Homo-oligomer: A and B are copies of this chain.
Amino acid sequence: MIIDKKTRLYVEKDAMPGVKRVMNKLAGDFEMVFGEKPAVNECDADILFSDEKNASEKNVRIIAATLGSSDFLDKLIAAGRFDSSAIKDKWEVYSFGVLNTENENTQTLLIAGSDKRGTIYGIFHLSELLGVSPWYWFADCTPLKKDNIEITDGYSMISKIPSVKYRGFFINDEWPAFGNWTFEHFGGFTAEMYDHVFELLLRLKGNYLWPAMWTSNFSLDGPGLENARLADEYGVVMSNSHHEPCLRHSEEWDLIKGEDTPYGTAWNFDKNREGLTNYWRGGLERNGKFENIITMGMRGERDSEVLGATATLKDNIDYIKDVVTTQNQLIKETISEDLDSVPRMIAIYKEVEKYFHGDENAEGLKHWDGLDGITCMLCEDNFGNLRTLPEEWHRDRKGGWGMYYHFDYHGDPISYEWINSTHISRTCEQMSQAYDYGIREIWIVNVGDLKPQEFPLSYFLDLAYDIDKWGQENKKVVKEYTEHFVDVNFPSFNEADKHKTGELLDGYTHLNYTRKPEALNPDVYDPVSYGESEKVAVKATILQGIAAKMWSGLSDDCLKDAFYQLVYYPVTAAANLIKMQLFAGKNHFLAGIGAMKANEYAAEIRKCIDRDRELVSEYHSINGGKWNGMMLSEHIGFTHWNDEECAYPTIMLTEPANRPRMIVTAGHGKRASQGGDWTRQKLILDELLDPKVSESFITVYNGSDKKLKFAVNGASEFEYEIKDAAPDWLKIYVPGKELVLDENTNEVRLTLKLDREKLMASPLLSDGIASTTLTISTERAHVDVEVWAGVCEDKDFVPQLSEIQLSQEKPPYVRDFVVSNELGLTIEAKDFVLGNKDVAEEGEYRVLSDFGKYGSGIKAFPTTKYFTPGKDAPYAEYSFKVGKQSDPSQETGESFDLFGTLITAPGNPVVKGNPMAVGISVNGGEIVTITTLDPGYEGGERTSPQWASGVLTQDHKTEFKFTAKAGVNTIRIYAIDPGVVLERLLLRQRGTRWAEGYLGKVPAWIEG
């Protein structure tokens, strides 16, 4: 069956207004795709029948109808032409298919919903088939023009029941961006604007909305009640946010409270019972006729605690019970005696959580039957990490559970309200777990200004709609969903461009997830250690380059503006911001050692600052200024939890020294030496002791603006390689034919390459290691760099400082050996050797791909289970070697004290106080329990330092000690508590420390 501009659209005359409205949206889609907007014909069921029968010309028609309120469907059923059993009494289901025909001239595509939203989803399913993105308006994803689309004659589908009942988002923290934008374009938070929001929500297969609430009143701004009425027409279920009970808005209270009003002035149920009851009754009376989930309970005004500090827990619990009892009674009076028929929810958020759980002296609300039938809305920690989850006994409670999630947050430890900084891998992992724990009634996500969250919001609603497809069971979910999103929104792109677009989306969201843009500052990524600063800058530059190239090719493309908003702007602005901060880190480090190179970075920082401002202007001007205002959120250098006092990085300038001066650093070390006679500091380069490293470098910086020649071990001229200046096992490569610093060359990097085969034959070798000294010299100064290298090529070796090294007599100005850079062993958790076959029936560790800060992780399934190591617990096993470089596998009987660090995702325990433990056993020995959370840890509490730093660093680190033996060792990590995602295992030798750094060994997803 061919659908084209001649296709006729039908609804019954008495179809629900929302269905009619959406059929008109479909007509609009036809216009975008086929160039002509068809009429939406309204007629009686009889006419639809007679038209079919009497058709003398070929015609194609689309009919949308809702079971239970459609004569047409009733007649079809009666005539045996439609089997409603697959959708009947189901939630938001539709049947979509070509009707067997009575007259060959007529082909009918029937969209039949089990209920209003079922029908609407069915209609929008056709939009999808037409190639119209849900974001066609809200992100300018102009569909491709087509002559027609074909639907196979036999095409017939029954949609699934959505995985989660209520699925929606919350427009929040809407100033300055969304607020300015809607006032400019729609004169406020009006129905004209919400029309677009509702349509977007439904096209995304959501059904639920918390409206903007800072300086806006959903039920007054339509104008009047128009917003609420329109929502109801669309079938969009409204709630107010977690602290706005009984269909009243936070701002409303300030408008109508007063001494001489029925409401009084105190937002306190003890002191102003009557006033608040009147206030709530008013809200229920006004909005109760619409489809809502009514917010119950109360918090203090504007998101604060309601009772003073002196109230006991029981006082608070009793207070909430009193409030809810009153509210239930009001609902009975104003909406329905059958309370169970009225969807209600109560947010178990912040302090209310304490009241919910209670303690030994005060029974919590969770045991109170007054909450029966009310959905308990749990929430994550505002940073995408679940907090307490329903305990097993409680999962099936009446009213069920909800989850309040964030892609945008205004609060501690740092707000994020600009572009998307959530990687969907974490959302998938966490929300799948929420689903496992029975949270299936309501999912809502705070999307801030909505606009910059197109990608994760799509994912969130798709996941809530179909968790089997997009949940954790899909091992390639990140890749596949990203491809899906690109397919839906950039249908005209060729495969290569689609692939690149996916790379860009994944790339910038991964970088932003690794550290939220607002929380970046020059001190986050280390300017030197692990090369992380340079590698992240390269990653950002690559993304920028791809985006720029694609953007320049799109000047005439209908998806130009869409690409700008969804890809080009966030990629370019994120990369630019990251580089600004990375360059500032370099700038500060280099200014600190007096290198003139600092001033080159100063110029780069300036460029990034200018570019950031330019990008905001560009965004505001695209598509004729349609999105003017949307990028107003501050996003650079937050010094407090919010944007107040945010600061661009300080730019530091270095003044050239009066005389020629060189400054030398070795590898990824921070120590700098100028090689003066008196203060000369020997540098130690120990990176080549790491079997994974066979290349290192020495950097020579200019400390003045004068020309300065230098030499390496006396050699000063050569062609790309300095020959015979070092033992044959160490090759030295240079950028050119002479070594010189001058005004234009502020930095020269000498590359050192280790030849382990030749090292093996070296007479200098002892226990598999050797050292040589490279002297970098000018006329007046010389810097000695002691280069240590080892022969071991086993990548699973934990390098040990040898007796030779430890016994070296060193002048006091030589730093102690430290484990710098990669001179420890970093094991990715996913690289386990044995797995857990023997206990797989009880549970298993599964690899999470494309996951989190380090690009992967492992997690024990089922996520609801507590395991006992040695009994039912799965384990992951890793092997490593310790000993001499000359023979790392040799079992000499020696033992070594090692330090381990477990890096886990920044998750919170599923019940309060659980330490998220794992068990560790070395070489089959005793299984030691390691708790990954500090005592007193509280997810979401800014007073809990491990939580507050974890949501910024995106990891938790746990240190432990153990003893290993010379030769091959194994270490097993056993699952114990649920929810732990293990990402990395670091091993290092006693007496060493890890170099400072944000990433440590740079993850493969960055380094490529």
Could you tell me the distance in whole angstroms from the C-beta of A573 to the nearest C-beta in chain B? 14
Task: Using known A-B contacts A613-B658, A653-B653, determine if residue A647 contacts B594 with beta carbons closer than 8 Å.
Answer: yes
- The 4 A-B residue pairs whose C-beta atoms are closest, nearest first, are A644-B676, A648-B655, A651-B653, A640-B679
Interface residue? A971 (CB, 8 A): no
Closest to A676 in B: B644
The answer to whether A645 touches B658 (Cβ under 8 A) is no
* Contact pick for A642, options B652, B658, B679, CB 8 Å: B679
Indicate if A793 sits at the interface (CB-CB under 8 A).
no
Find residues 626-655 in chain A having any chain B CB closer than 8 Å to their own CB.
634, 640-642, 644-655
Taking A644-B676, A647-B657 as known contacts, 17 extra A-B pairs with beta carbons closer than 8 A to each other, sorted by chain A number, are A592-B650, A594-B645, A609-B655, A634-B658, A641-B679, A642-B679, A644-B674, A644-B677, A645-B674, A646-B657, A647-B655, A648-B655, A648-B657, A650-B654, A651-B652, A651-B655, A652-B652
> Could you give, for residues 586-600 of chain A, a 1 whenever the CB lies within 8 Å of some chain B CB and a 0 otherwise?
000001101000000
Known: A650-B591, A651-B653, A658-B634. A644 touches B678 (CB 8 A): yes
Which residue of the partner chain, among B642, B644, B650, contacts A653 with CB atoms under 8 Å?
B650
Interchain CA distance A634-B652 in the complex, whole Å: 22
- Min CB distance A589 to B, Å, is 12
Within 8 A of B (CB), among A598-613: 602, 609, 613
Chain A 708-738: CB-based contact to B (< 8 A → 1; otherwise 0): 0000000000000000000000000000000
Residue among B649, B652, B676, B678 making CB contact with A650, cutoff 8 Å: B652
CB distance from A731 to the nearest CB of B (A): 31
For the complex formed, measure the closest distance between the CB of A586 and the CB atoms of chain B, giving whole angstroms: 14
Q: Give Cα distance in the complex from A677 to B643, angstroms.
A: 11
Chain B contacts of A655 at CB under 8 A? 609, 647-649, 651
Question: Which chain B residues border A609 with CB–CB below 8 Å?
Answer: 655
Q: How far is the CA of A485 from the CA of B690 in the complex (A)?
A: 68
Q: Which residues of B contact A591 (CB under 8 A)?
A: 650
In the complex, are the beta carbons of B642 and A678 less than 8 A apart? yes
- Kindly report which residue of chain B lies nearest to residue A680, judged by CB atoms: B644
Can you name 14 A-B residue pairings with CB atoms under 8 Å?
A592-B650, A594-B647, A609-B655, A640-B678, A642-B676, A642-B679, A644-B677, A644-B679, A648-B654, A648-B655, A650-B653, A650-B654, A651-B653, A652-B653
**How many residues on the A side are at the interface (Cβ–Cβ under 8 A)?**
29
Residues of B contacting A642 in the complex (Cβ-Cβ under 8 angstroms): 676, 678-679
Query: Among residues 652 to 688 in chain A, which have CB atoms less than 8 Å away from a CB atom of chain B?
Result: 652-655, 657-658, 674, 676-679
Query: Nearest residue in B to A655 (C-beta to C-beta)?
Result: B648
Q: Which residues of B contact A650 (CB under 8 A)?
A: 591-592, 652-654
Of all chain B residues, the one with the shortest Cβ separation from A781 is B644
Residues in B with CB closer than 8 Å to A651 are 652-653, 655
Q: How far is the CA of A653 from the CA of B609 in the complex (A)?
A: 13
Whole-angstrom CA separation of A71 from B592 in the bound complex: 73
A652 contact set on B, CB distance < 8 A? 650-653
Docked Cα-Cα span, A651 to B676, in Å, equals 25
| 1/0 contact string of A218-248 vs chain B (CB within 8 Å) | 0000000000000000000000000000000
**Contacts of A592 on B, CB cut-off 8 Å?**
650
Contacts of A648 in B (CB 8 A): 654-655, 657
Residues of B within 8 A of A644 (CB): 674, 676-679
Per the bound structure, the CA–CA distance linking A679 and B639 in Å amounts to 10
Chain B residues near A654 (CB-CB < 8 A) = 648, 650
Q: Given the complex of chains A and B, what is the CA–CA distance between A678 and B412 in angstroms?
A: 11
- Per-position binary interface string of chain A over residues 335-373, scored 1 when its CB falls under 8 Å from any chain B CB and 0 otherwise: 000000000000000000000000000000000000000
Expressed in whole angstroms, the Cα–Cα distance for A974 and B12 within the complex equals 109
Note all chain B residues with C-beta closer than 8 A to A594.
645, 647
| Min C-beta distance of A748 to chain B, whole Å | 19
Alpha-carbon distance A594/B637, docked complex (angstroms): 11
A649 partner residues in chain B, CB cutoff 8 A: 655
CB distance from A610 to the nearest CB of B (A): 10
Whole-angstrom distance between the Cβ of A997 and the nearest chain B Cβ: 24
User: How far does the alpha carbon of A648 sit from the alpha carbon of B642 in the complex, in Å?
Assistant: 36
The distance from the CB of A626 to the nearest CB of chain B, in whole angstroms, is 22
Smallest CB gap from A640: residue in B: B679
Q: Which of A642, A645, A647, A674 has the most CB of B within 10 A?
A: A645
CA distance A634 to B654 in the complex (A): 17
CA A649 – CA B655 in complex, angstroms? Answer: 8
A906–B658 CA distance with the chains assembled, in angstroms:
33
Shortest Cβ distance from A292 into chain B, in angstroms? Answer: 31
A641 to B677: give the CA distance in the assembly, Å: 12
Q: Which residues of B contact A679 (CB under 8 A)?
A: 640-642, 644-645
Which B residue's beta carbon lies closest to that of A594?
Answer: B647
List the B side residues contacting A653 at CB < 8 Å.
602, 650-653
Q: Which residues of B contact A674 (CB under 8 A)?
A: 644-645
A654: nearest chain-B partner, CB-CB: B650
Contact residues in B for A602 (Cβ distance below 8 Å): 653
Asked if residues A645 and B676 are in contact (CB atoms below 8 Å), the reply is yes
Write out the residue numbers on chain B whose beta carbons fall within 8 Å of the beta carbon of A634. Answer: 658
B contact residues around A658 at 8 Å (CB): 613, 634
A613 to B704, CA, bound (A): 14
Q: What residue of chain B has the Cβ atom nearest to residue A599's Cβ?
A: B651
Q: Report the minimum CB–CB distance from A619 to chain B (whole Å).
A: 14
| Nearest residue, chain B, Cβ from A672 | B645
* Min distance, Cβ A248 to any Cβ of chain B, angstroms: 24
Name A642's closest neighbour in chain B (CB-CB).
B678
C-alpha spacing A592/B648, complex, angstroms = 11
Interface-central residue, A592, A594, A650, A654, by most chain B CB under 10 Å: A650
Given the complex of chains A and B, what is the CA–CA distance between A647 and B592 in angstroms?
9
- Report the separation of the CA atoms of residues A655 and B654 in the bound assembly, to the nearest whole angstrom: 17
In the assembled complex, the Cα of A609 lies from the Cα of B656 at a distance in Å of: 10
CA of A744 to CA of B592, assembled, Å = 31
Measured in the bound complex, the distance between the Cα atoms of B871 and A965 in whole Å is 73
Q: How long is the Cα–Cα vector from A655 to B612 in the complex, in angstroms?
A: 13
Q: Which residues of B contact A646 (CB under 8 A)?
A: 657
CA distance A650 to B609 in the complex (A): 20
CA of A760 to CA of B45, assembled, Å: 93
Name which residue of chain B comes closest to A580, CB basis: B655
- Please encode chain A, from 750 to 761, with 1 for each CB lying within 8 Å of some chain B CB and 0 for all others: 000000000000
- State A676–B634 Cα separation when bound (angstroms): 14
Q: How far is the CA of A654 from the CA of B609 in the complex (A)?
A: 12
